[in-house]
């Protein structure tokens, strides 16, 4: 963690986050005070820290949003992918419901739900919020969101009885999203959970199998963070409560906490970074093996 930028006031957070925006749909949404403006405004509820990686290879899988920090990343000419990255990382911080002395099992359930909501927002709902975005990103591949965008699959499949009054099985995903985006998100989270918990992953399609594989990562992540989770939760609660009195002092104290955790190392919670990096390397290797097996089978 280096080149630290302290964003004390709400305006500081807005300015720093807007400067990171690169694609036309994201910038336009912010300028029109649409979805992206509202997301950044939620992110600005707390003072925030931006930084660069000291060691990208080590830190790229580290969970910086968990302790209120947003690392900058260079996606080259891929402006929309850059914007999606920041939306996802900010989303983790927005939904985090820190608690002291929360039992481990409840903490795992909470983090699982928070991760699901963040992923649905940045991997599916964002294309409904910004209809022009899909044509600019992942243009050469099919993504999970496409089946819902094209109405090939209803987000509420098998749950017509839970639709708002006046809607039925013929309702489009777009109409439901427009009328009740929160219910749309809930249906999407339930679909994602069903995929992750599937007892027959072989029956899943390619995009679903990737989502399914995240479940094991989540539990391995939780076990890695178990020894220090209460320290992080307490620090974030202090930042929140102290920030209600003096955001500048609260952020300075939080930075001091992170610097103490770094010590002479590369980043805060370096042991957790190294352990989860091994998890992600294994995950990528398994994904690549599965992809190669499918490619050879088709050949």
Give pLDDT tens digits for 258-287. Answer: 999 999 999 999 999 999 999 999 888 877
- Please determine, for residue 289, whether its predicted confidence score (pLDDT) is greater than 80: no
Write a three-state SS string for 77-110: CCHHHHHHHHHHHHHHHHHCCCCCCCCHHHHHHH
Q: Is the distance from CB of 254 to CB of 235 less than 8 angstroms?
A: yes
Among residues 129, 137, 115, 120, the alpha carbon closest in space to that of 22 is found at 137
Spatial distance between the Cα atoms of 121 and 131, rounded to a whole number of angstroms: 14
Q: How many CA atoms lie within 13 A of 210 on its CB side?
A: 12
222 band by pLDDT with thresholds 50, 70 and 90: very high
Tell me: the pLDDT tens digits for 88-121? Answer: 999 999 999 999 999 999 999 999 999 999 999 9
What integer pLDDT is reported at residue 296 of this predicted model? 36
What integer pLDDT is reported at residue 288 of this predicted model? 65
For the residues 229-235, what does the mean pLDDT come to?
A: 98
299 band by pLDDT with thresholds 50, 70 and 90: very low
What integer pLDDT is reported at residue 290 of this predicted model? 52
Q: How many domains does the chain have?
A: 1
Q: What is the mean pLDDT of the chain?
A: 94
Least confident piece of the model among 9-13, 22-26, 85-89, 199-203: 199-203
Give the predicted TM-score (pTM) of the model.
0.92
For the residues 117-132, what does the mean pLDDT come to?
A: 97
Spatial distance between the Cα atoms of 141 and 276, rounded to a whole number of angstroms: 28
Alpha carbon 238 to chain centroid distance?
23
Print the domain residue range for 183: 2-298
For the residues 39-66, what does the mean pLDDT come to?
A: 97
Q: Is the distance from CB of 53 to CB of 1 less than 8 angstroms?
A: yes
Tell me: the pLDDT tens digits for 150-192? Answer: 999 999 999 999 999 999 999 999 999 999 999 999 999 999 9
């Amino acid at each position: 963690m280096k080149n630290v930028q302290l964003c004390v006031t709400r305006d500081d957070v807005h300015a720093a986050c807007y400067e990171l925006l690169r694609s036309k749909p994201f910038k336009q949404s912010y300028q029109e005070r649409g979805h992206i403006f509202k997301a950044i405004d939620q992110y600005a509820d707390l003072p925030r820290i931006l930084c660069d990686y000291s060691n990208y290879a080590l830190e790229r899988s580290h969970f910086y949003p968990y302790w209120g920090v947003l690392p900058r990343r260079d996606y080259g000419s891929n402006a929309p992918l850059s914007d999606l990255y920041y939306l996802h990382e900010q989303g983790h911080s927005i939904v985090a419901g820190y608690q002291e002395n929360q039992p481990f099992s409840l903490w795992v359930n909470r983090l699982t739900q928070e991760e699901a909501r963040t992923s649905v927002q940045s991997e599916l709902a964002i294309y409904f919020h910004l209809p022009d975005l899909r044509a600019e990103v992942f243009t050469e591949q099919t993504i999970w969101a496409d089946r819902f965008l094209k109405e090939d699959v209803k987000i509420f499949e098998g749950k017509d009885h839970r639709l708002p009054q006046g809607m039925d099985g013929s309702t489009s995903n777009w109409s439901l999203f427009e009328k009740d985006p929160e219910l749309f998100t809930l249906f999407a989270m339930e679909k994602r959970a069903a995929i992750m918990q599937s007892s027959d992953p072989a029956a899943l399609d390619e995009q679903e199998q990737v989502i399914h594989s995240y479940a094991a990562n989540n539990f391995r992540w939780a076990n890695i963070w178990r020894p220090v989770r209460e320290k992080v939760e307490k620090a974030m609660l202090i930042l929140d409560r102290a920030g209600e009195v003096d955001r500048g002092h609260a952020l300075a104290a939080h930075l001091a906490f992170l610097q103490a955790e770094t010590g002479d190392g590369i980043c805060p919670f370096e042991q957790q970074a190294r352990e989860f990096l091994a998890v992600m390397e294994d995950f990528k290797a398994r994904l690549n093996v599965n992809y190669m097996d499918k490619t050879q089978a088709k050949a």
